[in-house]
Structure 1
């Protein structure tokens, strides 16, 4: 079926790999200049319509993924037993947890209970029963050892991604148990991505291995949803295999039939085809798939990244024209879906800032928050029902937590979004009084009703200032008597170095965990009624209008 790809040995020097990675991402000679979009604006007025809903998204709208590369060596799945990681994941609920990515199409389930035996990682105090969260906990000493080794492993995997070579990876029941226990104990709804590159001689999907896995999961009563394959548009490049839209649809119908015949999974959801953003043959692939198998899927999934991680720049992360490309691609997908399967839900099944594993020095820093927050706002406004962030943990540089499992800026941004923003989308417009209004991007939702501190009728506005100058924002007169609670996120230091920081402040206070299992309170600042909002340059903020009295909220 496939020839084994190149795998860099675990003994490869981490420092050498890091040097190579940085070299591959080196920008043109000289320091990266400060963004040129800094003339900005001084003031802007807003129009807010809280009388009707524009649309409503899934309450799990902001969801996350674990990259299948974590299973490249099964011992790293034990990191999912970290109490810290479980604390961070639980705080993002409700959400889907997608397990997938490039590696999923090179993975084979090998049913053998004694698959993972290493004296370095055996411990009688670590249990991984999916139905017993109190017993699913990674001992501290083992966690520290695994984190140190994972830091080097993640770098190796990142380099392999750039080489475009992939090896078959075997995984056992043990890995499945660890994954399900993590999702179950964190309160996340698991979506498991199956390998589509198992092919028969006539190029149809060979489901034998998937059926082994599904039967095992059913025997354990693991509740989950399913996907089949990752970015089928790239199969020829990755594995020398071509699958057209019709055949892809037939493969999904085959999987759908298997699930229908299962007592446990007959009502479980199936998502796909997880195609790359539309262009050229990808549109034909999506069209052929929907013509064949639209009825088999519960949502149509596609992937979006703004830029190539190898040659992007700081300016790209702050460029309104780059951010607007999401709308263009989304509208193309909706045009195809609505013509062939009207009313079918559409998801961003995998998304982040830069493809190719992210951009070194950018995708895991403060400046990445502009792309992430704008994507959340624009995706909901356009009608995408779920957005799955690549990744919570895994290889690459676009993760939400670092190799020490500490939260990065985009995690804190995601956490605030979860706490403050509800699924109901409202209409807001920017009326610029001076400067270029496209440097201010504003979105409006009902406030999350599960936030007990806010009354019904409250609304949450979030705004991004892409320019270096501060902005003064004025609200319509009808909201002048509403107390506003502000949550302003900024880099710890000013200028370019601040934008590249892996830390973030909330209302001037550096965000960090209180201890290994405790998050900080994330407190807002009350602004007196009738005051204009002041949004600093290169910052973004959430504003809760406590007494907006929005009838639809």
Structure 2
């Protein structure tokens, strides 16, 4: 037998599940190899996440000049958004707390009952002009972010119409972030502007959910206003009372407080908020980023220890919420790879996918119910869609996750005696029932190293084929880690046209065939006939 780098996966059924054992064999050049043992339990789900688990945000910066909201009428963008449904669509971010609803005296609704989603399309010439102007606008927004000096943003019914139309036509559920920095002399939230906005939304029968404020722990730096957790909780209770008086919104979702990672005052703010306001919210939201976008490195994006920091922060939040409000759902209300708008040349390239897929896998396993990706479109370099409205690598990864992965999380543990073993990370879910039948499972794998391997499924699994979806950069390997192009099973991914995505087909493998796992790759392996009891 030829000497190769080989990962052999042995699957044997037991009454309560099966286990996967992965062994690496030596090569002719005596490369150091790693033995990995993976245990899996298919008897029942570890937990079940929300069917909107992978959700997305539109940054409020898009409305800093209302004309840029017209980009939401782009046929291409609507096509891309539809492929991510079902999902929540969060409208929020730093500028959320500087936005004032300013109704027009005479408003002609942008969307009427007679219009279909196909009718509401941005003319190509206007789209091209807005895309060019948006590039310049991003420079102004970045300057504001760096100086932490934000201008007041006035928006009209037009912004709301376009947002709701985009969400509705994409099959997403809109979450609108209200301005919490509108405050009285007693430092209590002034709800007058929010009531005006809600009255308009209710008059149009816009079904949506709400948030109040974005990262309140940073208000002092951004606006010279300090709000403690107890008062913030009371503000949410006040908002819930307003919603309860509405025929349309009396049972709608309310989420918050959208704090950043918990330490020092941020921890105190969250505790105070939960004590006074937990009863008002349907889910507790917090924000997570791994690194500072201004001083991070390529190595950080591939470092298992950096990825593991998510567990530390998540467990701290979960414990705090469970202590004060047992059973309350916890969401990552905003998240990506690097804060500060992302890391230029990293957060919008293939290497960002390692942080993104690991966050989806680990977050679900830890107990997060929804993860909202910053952003689908908006300022920064952590977007899923670039300034030309073309999909980036993390977009394609997100679409595959939506199609292949179901909400039931299964127990899987990987063990190794070697440090290098930490660079192979695996997660397991039931497969998406809309794509696969009962009993199917989807294994997600990340290879953070540059060494290739092969996966062999033994012949005794002859009743189950394997569908492989392997994502690599273009060009593949280390050379392409910072590429904005990605391949699926060696085929370059790109839109067919503005209204159609490619098929995104997997490679079907018979039980006796081998699956190549390249170095620096991300993969989904679907076992349609695994007959997992947890997935029936």
- TM value normalised by structure 1: 0.88
CA contact (8 A) 1:348 1:386 kept: yes
Deviation at 1:143, TM superposition (A): 1.1
Q: Is the alpha carbon distance of 1:181 and 1:424 closer, same or farther for their aligned partners in structure 2, counting shifts above 3 Å?
A: same
CA contact (8 A) 2:283 2:328 kept: yes
The range that moved more, 202-211 or 147-156, is 147-156
Match of 2:169 in 1: 185
Match of 2:10 in 1: none
- Deviation per residue, 1:501-528 (Å, 9 max, x gap): 0110000000000001110000100122
CA contact (8 A) 1:400 1:411 kept: yes
CA distance in 1, matches of 2:381, 2:366: 27
Deviation at 1:366, TM superposition (A): 0.2
Contiguous gaps of at least 5 residues in structure 1 = 1-38, 117-125
Deviation at 1:161, TM superposition (A): 1.4
CA distance in 2, matches of 1:462, 1:495: 19
User: 1:10-49 residue pairs with structure 2 within 5 A?
Assistant: 41-42=33-34, 44-49=36-41
Secondary structure at 2:531's aligned position in 1?
Answer: coil
CA contact (8 A) 2:68 2:130 kept: yes
Match of 1:218 in 2: 202
CA contact (8 A) 1:47 1:475 kept: no
- Deviation per residue, 1:425-448 (Å, 9 max, x gap): 001122447662111000000000
Aligned partner of 1:76 among 68, 71, 79? 68
1:413 corresponds to 2:405: no
1:464 corresponds to 2:446: yes
Deviation at 1:532, TM superposition (A): 5.2
- TM value normalised by structure 2: 0.91
1:315 corresponds to 2:299: yes
Q: Is the alpha carbon distance of 1:442 and 1:478 closer, same or farther for their aligned partners in structure 2, counting shifts above 3 Å?
A: farther
Aligned partner of 1:164 among 124, 148, 163? 148
CA contact (8 A) 2:34 2:420 kept: no
Deviation at 1:152, TM superposition (A): 1.7
User: 1:90-101 residue pairs with structure 2 within 5 A?
Assistant: 90-101=82-93
Q: Is the alpha carbon distance of 1:234 and 1:480 closer, same or farther for their aligned partners in structure 2, counting shifts above 3 Å?
A: farther
Secondary structure at 2:533's aligned position in 1?
Answer: coil
Secondary structure at 2:413's aligned position in 1?
Answer: strand
* Structure of greater relative contact order (alpha carbons < 8 Å, 6+ residues apart): 1
Q: Is the alpha carbon distance of 1:464 and 1:41 closer, same or farther for their aligned partners in structure 2, counting shifts above 3 Å?
A: farther
- Deviation per residue, 1:36-55 (Å, 9 max, x gap): xxx88455343222111100
Q: Is the alpha carbon distance of 1:398 and 1:205 closer, same or farther for their aligned partners in structure 2, counting shifts above 3 Å?
A: same
Q: Is the alpha carbon distance of 1:361 and 1:333 closer, same or farther for their aligned partners in structure 2, counting shifts above 3 Å?
A: same
Match of 2:14 in 1: none
1:203 corresponds to 2:195: no
Deviation at 1:333, TM superposition (A): 0.2
Deviation at 1:497, TM superposition (A): 3.8
CA contact (8 A) 2:34 2:421 kept: no
CA contact (8 A) 1:449 1:456 kept: yes
Secondary structure at 2:534's aligned position in 1?
Answer: coil
Contiguous gaps of at least 5 residues in structure 2 = 1-30
The range that moved more, 242-251 or 140-149, is 140-149
- Deviation per residue, 1:424-480 (Å, 9 max, x gap): 0001122447662111000000000011xx221110001000011013446699756
Match of 2:216 in 1: 232
Q: Is the alpha carbon distance of 1:50 and 1:131 closer, same or farther for their aligned partners in structure 2, counting shifts above 3 Å?
A: farther
Aligned partner of 2:387 among 356, 380, 403? 403
Structure having the larger proportion of residues in strand: 2
Deviation at 1:137, TM superposition (A): 1.3
RMSD: 1.9
Match of 1:53 in 2: 45
